[in-house]
Amino acid sequence: MTTSNVADQTTLQDPTKQYPRPKFEEQSQEAPGLAKKMNPKPDHGEETYKGSGRLAGRKAIITGADSGIGRAVAIAFAREGADIVLNYLPSEEEDAKEVISLIEQAGRKAIPIAGDLSEEKFCNRLVEDAVHQLGGLDILVNVAGRQEAEEDISKLTTQQFEMTYKTNVFGLFWLCKAALAHLQAGATIVNTASIQAYQPSPTLLDYASTKAAIVAFTKGLAKQVASKGIRVNAVAPGPIWTPLQPSGGQPTEKLPEFGAKTPLGRPGQPAELAPIYVLLASQESSYVTGETYGVTGGNMLP
């Protein structure tokens, strides 16, 4: 099962049939997982996203840019004219090299900086290195996240709970704090929340609660920096077909029906989120701040 026959995103088509639907095969990987090992392979917009210069000359940091949503955002931003610093874990180098090539094919600068966002010193260095190598910073996109399913709170260890918060919330806080020292009026921050913030799954206590924290953080920070002309928004995905799912994000036995309970009857693909990140990063959304945009296949946010 592949996504190679998917039409570009300007072609009128039935969204319920646009991408593969369950039932999928059972599959698992060691965390953090690689997109190329998934079946079907996710669509990040490699063949489907067409840019139109909406981010021409912008300078962006994108975390989690090797695969999943971050990869789709990186491809879209490059094709819209942005230069990009890509962050990912060292173990994800194989996927990251593919993204770097795609960005360079779009004629844009791709600067890879591997490292762990659960470490404050690295987050500070990531921003400083990005500003130095890009010659400034206009956009911060926080996508990287940690998700590990656990069915019983008695088995949810303090170590797992702490690492999920350090990666998903503390890392985002450190990056926003460091970036704001360099952002000018017109700059944007786009965070990644989740439908889990509003409809938490019983197996994702730690992950869901971090996403709720991100929603509140986004709203509060947006108010704090609005007078500086800086906008802060978030995207809240529903079930999206990324390496996060088969590498511990979902119980293996649930993957064959992943996304089946959405009104559209299938999981979303990373390429379907990229246009929302482009919108929120571009001047077209100049009167939008403090918002959380749902991309959920019909499972509506409150």
Active site residues: 207
3-state SS, residue 138: coil
Going by their DSSP bridges, the two strands 110-114 and 292-295 should be labelled as unpaired
237: phi then psi, degrees, rounded to nearest 5? -75, 155
Given phi > 0 = left and psi -120 to 50 = alpha, else beta, which region is 81?
left
Q: How far is CA 138 from the centre of its chain?
A: 18
216: phi then psi, degrees, rounded to nearest 5? -65, -40
Q: How far is CA 33 from the centre of its chain?
A: 15
Peptide bond into 32 cis (omega under 30): yes
The burial class, CB within 10 Å (0-12 / 13-18 / 19+), for 31 is: middle
Which strand ranges, in their side-by-side order, compose the sheet holding 139-142?
110-114, 83-88, 59-63, 139-142, 188-192, 231-237, 292-295
The burial class, CB within 10 Å (0-12 / 13-18 / 19+), for 181 is: exposed
Residues 6 or more apart whose Cβ sits within 8 Å of residue 175? 61, 63, 117, 123, 126, 127, 140, 142
3-state SS, residue 129: helix
